[in-house]
Amino acid sequence: MDLTTIREIIFPDPHNGGIEWREGDAWLAGGTWLFSEPQPNLRRLIDLRAFGWAPLTITEQGLEIAATCEVVKLAALKTPPEWNASSLIRQCCRSLLASFKIWNTATVGGNICMSLPAGALISLATALEGVCTIISRDGGHRQLPIQDFVTGNHQNVLRNGDLLRKVDLPAAALRKRAALRRFSLTHQGRSAALLIGTLCPREGIFMLTVTAAISRPLRFSFPDLPSVNELRSRLEHEIQDSLWFDDVHGSWEYKRHLTFYYAEEIRRELAGEARS
């Protein structure tokens, strides 16, 4: 869609300090949402590609994902063999409702900043204990876990002019065993429920991440693998009724049922039990 109110597109100099943020500005990365509907309040786009951020960087500490990294590049990433949980990367990328054009243009940062319940890269980053780095208008940096970044349906902690710089996934989380369950009403449809479980091979810590069925991501941590009753009780008590996301992709009662069902499937898989 043409954005007829845009008067200027700028390409910032990465070596020339910050940007004077104005009313009517917007950051431009992939632009797949930005150009999908009218943006009558916008006057200027700031193209993030000018910063030249490396899309993906593997280090001893883990994986650094630039906000401008395209989904297709993340999905194609070859990871160290000891990163057992890296199988989640392609699974979550494939969980996005997207055409091949979107697949090749949309960015990781765009998916996270949209902050939709079904944002599959939010699910990935939360399950793998991702930490995001945010650049504020004055050039300052702050960090926080992804599960604290998203605060609700299409809501997050970004202030006007803030910029998501990157997401870091720690190597310790990537080395864990992992299991994913997802449901949508149609084969290529938006997720109604997406759950990911991880199990630390050394310390035995079990984590379960719940997304899509609720308005913001939640991650539950247990010192060891819980029993079926312990897991269900924790979910029942800590997922407030107001968090269940009721929309055309499923009622909140249905999504609640899916969440409990898949949580137990994940628990059993990581425990090594056979599925019923």
Q: What confidence score (pLDDT) does residue 188 get?
A: 65
pLDDT tens for each residue of 115-124: 999 999 999 9
- pTM equals 0.94
Residue 276 confidence (pLDDT) above 50: no
Q: Contact at 8 Å (CB) between 15 and 51?
A: no
Residue 265 confidence (pLDDT) above 90: yes
What does the mean pLDDT of the chain come to? Answer: 92
Cβ within 8 Å of residue 41, ≥6 positions away: 5, 24
pLDDT tens for each residue of 47-61: 998 999 999 999 999
Nearest-5° angle of CA 223, CA 208, CA 251?
A: 145
| Distance separating alpha carbons of residues 123 and 192, to the nearest angstrom | 13
Residue 130 confidence (pLDDT) above 80: yes
Q: Tell me what percent of the residues of the chain surpass a pLDDT of 90.
A: 79
pLDDT tens for each residue of 144-170: 999 999 999 999 999 999 999 999 999
